Structure 1
Amino acid sequence: MATSDALRYTRIPLTHGSGAIPAVGFGTLIPDPVATRQATKTALEVGFRHLDCAERYRNEDAVGDAMQSAFKAGAIRRGDIFVTTKLWNTNHRPERVRPAFDASCRRLQVDYVDCYLIHTPFAFQPGDEQDPRDERGKVIYDSGVTLAETWQALERLVDDGRCRSIGLSDVTLEKVREIVAVARIKPAAVQVESHPYLPEWDLLEFCREHGIVLLAFAALGHGLDPKLVDDPVITDIAGRVHKTPAQVALAWAVQRGTAFLTTSTKPEYIRQNFAISTLPEDAMREIREDIRTNVRFNAVVASGVPGFIPRAG
């Protein structure tokens, strides 16, 4: 087992891609570009080496600025950072995939991306409007493209060398099975909401069988009610191991073999979220067996509309 201080530096080798993904990741879903730039800069200074981005977040340029600032300071090189970004729903048609990927690279100011994910398995009407709606306010979906066709376009990005691995996001186990069955290049990672209130054990087992990394977003429940960090099982363990409840939940994520993402604009929380330590086995068992709450905070898997991203702006 890793020593307590080593847990935060865990890297998971990619079976279906090159390199290894840092298990401790920083999510960049932060609405304000100035806050994004500062939080990303702080995350890199603290020790985060995985940045999770997306075209849909509309702040890739701010993340790119923060990375360039770190590179110029000389402490970090591009090869030290694992950069993930995502193809948005309006760009699922194969002819739109490469231009969308190239645009993300330009905004992020990188020559390559370590992992490129299909943001959701739902195709929206192609175009510049990221949230296309009809006159009744309903999402306009695109029935002219299949998920498999979009996946094949991502495979071609890997063939060209500027995309080192590809994966899926906001998907159900059924959708992951569907792609694994037809893929020439298998998903390297699958990003889904997961935390002690939504452990996704079946999906994790499937991912293990197929050499896929499960990457957990909303690893702390996104601060929504019921609050994961107030759960008595978590708080009791936190008191025993002298860590915060958040650190307990994040350590649990790494120790069970997943990678996680956490987001904050507060330097104190960014530091704490990185400073995780190995939990004793009895704590891991308690989290699995004694927590009875089961809740999904983000309904994106049912509609393709992210619950944490405001429609406006």
Structure 2
Amino acid sequence: MTVHEALRYTKIPLTHGEGELPAVGFGTLIPNSAATEQATKVALDVGFRHLDCAERYRNEDAVGSAMQEMFKSGAIKREEVFVTTKLWNTNHRPERVRSAFEASCRRLQVDYVDCYLIHTPFAFQPGDEQDPRDEHGQVIYDREVTLLETWQALERLVDDGRCKSIGLSDISLEKLKEIFAPARIKPSVVQVESHPYLPEWELLDFCREHGIVMQAFAALGHGLEPSVLQDPVITAIAQHAQKTPAQVSLAWAVQRGTAFLTTSTNRSRIQENFDISSLPEDAMEEIKEHVTTTVRFNQVVKTGVPGFIPQTKAN
């Protein structure tokens, strides 16, 4: 990994795939399509070169339009932007994977995807309804397909050349090990919730050992309580370093060897999240040793259903 003093330019080589993943990434989970398109253009203009998308977000077309506008303007080239998107739970059956991938490519208006992730390790009832429920409101899971079978279908996408790397999202260490061992093409990227309140050190150690990039979503705690950005350790370091608490938390993420995603529709916030620089080693150690709150904000790893759970106080 090449770590720059200006951390925003850090790129992490993909051991099990093609290219390098920019450590600083922009997430596109934005409900409104017009806002998605505008925020994506701002992110690219500011300097973000990694866009994280998903079939589930229902806005890949808006991201695609934003990218094409920037490409046509000559501001940036397609090969300069690392594009990730994800296979949703209702498309886990191998015969559905290729068509789902191709549909994402069409919506994003790209000929290839730099990284394709299985959005969660949970298979839902196949079909057009993204959130299938029974008469009691319970998720209808698909028991006819295994995660390994889905993974093998992703491997075939890599064989075809339009998918440069593959990975997993919202996955536990135990599930990751189940896939890693038999995989013909090993996961390049694992995307999980991670921030100073959920550092996932054991998962990160496994990823380091096996050449997998760990990427953090909700890298700032998603604005929920207890607030990462109001933690006294983080705020004290920010004051001393003349940075914002967000910049401290994001610098910590890159310096410990992970990539991260942030999402915003506010230009100044997007700029702030990009403009990160190195922390002194004693600050890194202080965060590791003295941030004591532990909390998971998103329970998707237990059910496959995305959604942040409001919390009132530290656990």
Residue pair 1:15, 1:212 contacting (<8 A) in 2 also: yes
- Residue 234 of structure 1 corresponds to 234
Instruction: Provide the C-alpha distance between the structure 2 equivalents of 1:307 and 1:200, rounded to a whole number of angstroms.
Output: 19
The letter for the 2-side match of 1:271 is Q
- Residue 213 of structure 2 corresponds to 213
- Residue 285 of structure 1 corresponds to 285
Structure 1, gaps ≥5 residues long: none
Deviation track 1:88-112 (CA, whole Å, cap 9, x = no partner) reads: 0000000000000000000000000
- Residue 195 of structure 1 corresponds to 195
Residue pair 1:2, 1:278 contacting (<8 A) in 2 also: no
Aligned residue runs from structure 1 range 60-79, under 5 A: 60-79=60-79
- Residue 118 of structure 1 corresponds to 118
Residue pair 1:88, 1:118 contacting (<8 A) in 2 also: yes
The DSSP-based 3-state class of the residue aligned with 1:294 is coil
The DSSP-based 3-state class of the residue aligned with 2:95 is helix
The DSSP-based 3-state class of the residue aligned with 1:70 is helix
Instruction: Provide the C-alpha distance between the structure 2 equivalents of 1:25 and 1:156, rounded to a whole number of angstroms.
Output: 26
Residue pair 2:3, 2:11 contacting (<8 A) in 1 also: no
The letter for the 1-side match of 2:238 is A
How far residue 4 of structure 1 moved from its aligned partner, in angstroms, is 3.0
Instruction: Provide the C-alpha distance between the structure 2 equivalents of 1:34 and 1:235, rounded to a whole number of angstroms.
Output: 34
Taking structure 1 as reference, are residues 105 and 2 closer, same or farther at Cα in structure 2, changes over 3 Å only? closer
Residue identity over aligned pairs, in percent, reads 77
**Pairs aligned (count):** 308
Structure 2, gaps ≥5 residues long: 310-315
Deviation track 1:205-254 (CA, whole Å, cap 9, x = no partner) reads: 00001000001000000000001000000000000110000000000000
- Residue 19 of structure 2 corresponds to 19
Instruction: Provide the C-alpha distance between the structure 1 equivalents of 2:258 and 2:9, rounded to a whole number of angstroms.
Output: 13
- Residue 83 of structure 1 corresponds to 83
- Residue 4 of structure 1 corresponds to 5
Instruction: Provide the C-alpha distance between the structure 1 equivalents of 2:65 and 2:282, rounded to a whole number of angstroms.
Output: 43
Superposition RMSD in Å:
1.0
- Residue 147 of structure 2 corresponds to 147
Is residue 37 of structure 2 the alignment partner of residue 40 of structure 1? no
How far residue 308 of structure 1 moved from its aligned partner, in angstroms, is 4.4
Instruction: Provide the C-alpha distance between the structure 2 equivalents of 1:3 and 1:114, rounded to a whole number of angstroms.
Output: 22
Taking structure 1 as reference, are residues 3 and 68 closer, same or farther at Cα in structure 2, changes over 3 Å only? closer
Instruction: Provide the C-alpha distance between the structure 2 equivalents of 1:188 and 1:64, rounded to a whole number of angstroms.
Output: 23
How far residue 259 of structure 1 moved from its aligned partner, in angstroms, is 0.3
Instruction: Provide the C-alpha distance between the structure 1 equivalents of 2:128 and 2:63, rounded to a whole number of angstroms.
Output: 21
Taking structure 1 as reference, are residues 267 and 194 closer, same or farther at Cα in structure 2, changes over 3 Å only? same
Deviation track 1:132-190 (CA, whole Å, cap 9, x = no partner) reads: 00000000000000000000000000000000000000000001100001100000000
How far residue 75 of structure 1 moved from its aligned partner, in angstroms, is 1.2
Instruction: Provide the C-alpha distance between the structure 2 equivalents of 1:176 and 1:27, rounded to a whole number of angstroms.
Output: 22
Residue pair 2:297, 2:308 contacting (<8 A) in 1 also: no
With structure 2 as the length reference, what TM-score do the two structures score?
0.97
Taking structure 1 as reference, are residues 2 and 161 closer, same or farther at Cα in structure 2, changes over 3 Å only? closer
- Residue 296 of structure 1 corresponds to 296
Residue pair 1:50, 1:82 contacting (<8 A) in 2 also: yes
The DSSP-based 3-state class of the residue aligned with 1:130 is coil
Residue pair 2:168, 2:190 contacting (<8 A) in 1 also: yes
Instruction: Provide the C-alpha distance between the structure 1 equivalents of 2:255 and 2:69, rounded to a whole number of angstroms.
Output: 32
Instruction: Provide the C-alpha distance between the structure 2 equivalents of 1:283 and 1:145, rounded to a whole number of angstroms.
Output: 46
- Residue 164 of structure 1 corresponds to 164
The letter for the 2-side match of 1:211 is G
- Residue 58 of structure 2 corresponds to 58
The letter for the 1-side match of 2:252 is W
Is residue 95 of structure 2 the alignment partner of residue 95 of structure 1? yes
The DSSP-based 3-state class of the residue aligned with 1:12 is strand
